Structure formats: structure tokens, C-alpha cells
Structure 1
């Protein structure tokens, strides 16, 4: 069963406000993989574990219709508040039991969500609903982001960030396996997918400029910090305030609205269902 996290309304709102969606370039890599043997036009994409929908909207212009699913009513409520694309439908359901017909889907995506699923059951469900020669795309990124700021030592800046990541590491869910991020979990999934036509990429940088306050909002939206916040709100708030002050000190600025460069490292699995499966 999908782990039921990120379901509070405030947390869902922070997802929409702060989370960094895949770049257009990264989405195009997925579409290029799909188009190698399938060819267009593309009928149906399904975005599983869509959260507040930032990734879903990137698919809408490439498909006749998109179905976005999530187990959290709060996340779907936020997604619907921001929905502009008429060809997107949102459905509340678990990732392992999708309300879709066998062999009906051109592309199934899970963007920063697959690690929370019952992974073997989800992969079976993906196999069931995908059309032959169509594709599964599993995307995620690491919490260890890199900051940059003009005339500032990036190494010093990122040492402060690393201390934040290290401080929340003990609160990381055991469902995600050992280590500081879930990349090994995705590697294992890649090896377990029996399709001969598949692709693994563990380094696609997506860069954004944002206020320092938004960077802090982003890292505070991660499950490890949210766990600390539930267990010890005072400790979590003190940690966030301390890191914020230290980052401003290194940058020699006094406002959390100062723009900073944020680089996020994505990794992904692309896998094509065989013509005869």
C-alpha cells in the first residue's frame, strides 16, 4: 500500500509553492524515449502520485488527455485549485490499484513519488495498464541541492546546506532504505524491471532562481523535516532559523527574499513495455 504522507492541507500547499518540477528539457527526454517506437500523436498519459500537480501540467500539452492520481485529498484539492488545462482529470486512488483499463496508457509517470509506493505491486499495475511499446517514467531528485550566489563561495554556502541535510537525516523514513537519498532504491527498481528496452540516468541538473525563503520552504517540505516538525516543533523551527541566518551571513545579505541559484539533481528510469508481453 502507498505510504500515506503529505496529506495535511498546509503541507500540500507548500508542495505547490516550493517544489521544483522537472524541466521542459527533462520532460522532452521522456517524450523522445516514448516516441522512438510509439510515434505520435499520444493519447493518454497518467501521472501517479501527482501531489499538487506541478509535473502533471507539463504533460498536458503533449497528450490528448492526462489522468492524475493521488492518495491524498488535500494534494488533489491544491492541484484542482491551480488546474487550467481542460484535458487533465484528477482521481483519488492508491498507486497500486488504478481505475484504468488494461493496455490503455501511452505514458505512465511517477514524479518524486515512486519511492512511497508498494513498488513491486505498482510495477505490476504499470505493466497492466500500459499499451505495448509504451512507456513508464520514474523521476526523482535528491535532497542534496546546491546553492550559488554572486561573489559568494559556493563551497561554504553548501557546507551550511549540508549541515541542514545531515540534521534531518535521522528522521528519514525507513521505507526509503539506507543512505541520504533514494537513488539506490531506484537503481534496484531499474534492475528489477524485466523490459529489455530501458534507460537509466542519474545526473540531470535542473536549475532555478528563487528567493532564499523559497529554498528554505522547499527543504522544509521534505518528509524528513516534516517528521522532525511533528516530533519536536521547537527543535525544527530552531534548526530552520539557524540555517537561514547562517546562509544570509555567508551571502552577506539581510533579506530572506534575496534571489539565490538552486540546482537540483534529478535521476530517472525510462522503460518500454515490449510489443508482446
Structure 2
């Protein structure tokens, strides 16, 4: 059974606003790999599993006649439908292990920062069923983020790690291990060749955006549900205070004005149906 952590409507709203998109060079690599066997006219359908609020679905939409994002969370699908700018993108509620599509119907199946929560053996079988001959399965995700390009980066990351691995540590689901080991245990078992590549993305975020990013984590939402609002608010306030002390920011400077460079290490695993 899939692990379900993204059901709450407020969580879905935050997810839509603050979750990142995959780096462009990663998407180009996936499409380039597909193009080795499937030309533009053949790219009729892509299926994006665990689509959340649609960030990845909308990113791959320009390359296909039709793209469908699927997620087990109705709240996430409602957000995806509201936010999507793509006319050829559709969204539906569905488990990853049993999609309402015929066999050999999709040229590409993706899962972005999601498949580690699925029942992987059943998901792999479903992906193989759905793909056409020479169709591509691509699964990608980033490790938990880090703060870079700052003289106090070590201190800043200690503060971030204390939140991610300390305060939130016991609230992560089992699937988090796949992020921590860079998707080394994620597979495409029906493919003769499994491609594994790494990518890096960096972006400048305000301190308030970094805090908001933390609130999108499944572990944060679990802690909030178990310990209550006061506990998670105290944790994020402590985190912000440590960041400000490390970089010497005035207490009265708004968090929106405090800029940090955040790095994400992405891992791509993909293969082709023979």
C-alpha cells in the first residue's frame, strides 16, 4: 500500500505554492532519451504519478499531445486543476498502482519526488503495463535541501539539519530512505538498461520561503497533527532565530528580505520498455 501524507487541503495549498520544479536540464535529458526511439509525432500521452499540485505535470506538458497527472490525494488534484496553465494537462485522483488507462497507452511515465511513497513492486508492474514498446519510465527526486554559497553555510545547514533530522526526524515515513540514498534502490526492473544520473539546482529563496518549504514536508504535517500548532510554530521560530543569528541579520528585518541560496541534489532513474 502507498504511504499517504498529502491529504490535507491546507497542505495541498502550501505544496502548490512552495514546492520546487525539476531542473530544465533533467527534463531535457528525459525527453532526449525518449526521442532516441519515439519521435515528436509519437508522443501522444505522458502519465505523471504522484503529481501533487502539478508542478512536474505542467513541466512535461509541452512535449506531448496529452499529459495526465495522477495522485491519490483529492486535495492535491483540486489544487493542480486550479493552478495548471496547460490546456493539454489533465488531473485525476488515482492510486499509482492501478491507473484507469489501457495497456500500452503511454509513451512516458514519470514520478517526481513521489514514487518512494508507493508500493514499488506493484507500481513497477503497472508502469510496464502502461508503457508502449520503447516507452520510457523516469523517476526523479531531490535529497533534502541544503544552504550554500554563504560564508556561514556550515552553521546555516546545522540549523536546517536540526529541523529536518532532529525535530522532524521521527515523523518521516519509511520512504524517506530513498531520498537519503539518492534513489539508489529505485529501479526500472523491466528495462535492459537503467540510466542513473545526477543533477543540481540552485535558487535564491527568502527565509520566509525556506520556512514555508519546510511546512510542505510530510514530516512537518505529521508533527503538526500529533503535537499541534504550537509545537511546529515553536520549531520554525527557533530555526529562523538561529539563521538570523548566524548571518547577523537585524531582528526587525522582515523574513521576506533575508535571502538564502538553496541547493537541491536531484537523482534520475530511467529505463525503456523493450
Q: In structure 1, the residue corresponding to 2:183 is in which secondary structure?
A: helix
Counterpart in the other structure of 1:166: 165
Q: In structure 1, the residue corresponding to 2:261 is in which secondary structure?
A: strand
Q: Distance in 1 between matches of 2:171 and 2:269?
A: 26
- 1:184 Cα offset (Å): 4.0
- 1:271 Cα offset (Å): 0.9
Cα deviation digits, residues 47-86 of structure 1 (max 9, x gap): 1110001111101111111011111111011111112211
CA contact (8 A) 2:46 2:108 kept: yes
- Name the TM-score, length of structure 2 as normaliser: 0.92
Q: Distance in 2 between matches of 1:149 and 1:196?
A: 40
Cα deviation digits, residues 234-277 of structure 1 (max 9, x gap): 32221111001111221222321122211111112111111xxx
CA contact (8 A) 2:12 2:76 kept: yes
Tell whether 2:271 aligns with 1:271. yes
- 1:185 Cα offset (Å): 8.3
- Name the TM-score, length of structure 1 as normaliser: 0.91
Q: Distance in 2 between matches of 1:176 and 1:185?
A: 12
CA contact (8 A) 2:136 2:270 kept: yes
Q: In structure 1, the residue corresponding to 2:241 is in which secondary structure?
A: helix
Q: Distance in 1 between matches of 2:241 and 2:62?
A: 41
CA contact (8 A) 1:110 1:137 kept: yes
Counterpart in the other structure of 1:73: 74
Cα deviation digits, residues 182-239 of structure 1 (max 9, x gap): 344832232x6131122012x3111111211111111221111211111112322211
Tell whether 2:214 aligns with 1:215. no
Counterpart in the other structure of 1:64: 65
CA contact (8 A) 2:128 2:190 kept: no
Counterpart in the other structure of 1:53: 54
CA contact (8 A) 1:70 1:95 kept: yes
Structure 1's unaligned 5+ residue stretches are: none
Counterpart in the other structure of 2:33: 33
Alignment of 1:1-277 (within 5 A): 1-41=1-41, 42-143=43-144, 145-148=145-148, 152-167=151-166, 168-173=168-173, 175-176=174-175, 179=177, 182-184=179-181, 186-190=183-187, 193-201=189-197, 203-233=198-228, 234-253=230-249, 254-257=253-256, 258-274=258-274
Q: Distance in 2 between matches of 1:104 and 1:194?
A: 17
Q: Distance in 2 between matches of 1:183 and 1:157?
A: 19
Q: Distance in 2 between matches of 1:267 and 1:18?
A: 20
Q: Report which stretch shifted further, 239-248 or 153-162.
A: 153-162
CA contact (8 A) 2:44 2:66 kept: yes
CA contact (8 A) 1:206 1:263 kept: yes
Q: In structure 2, the residue corresponding to 1:97 is in which secondary structure?
A: coil
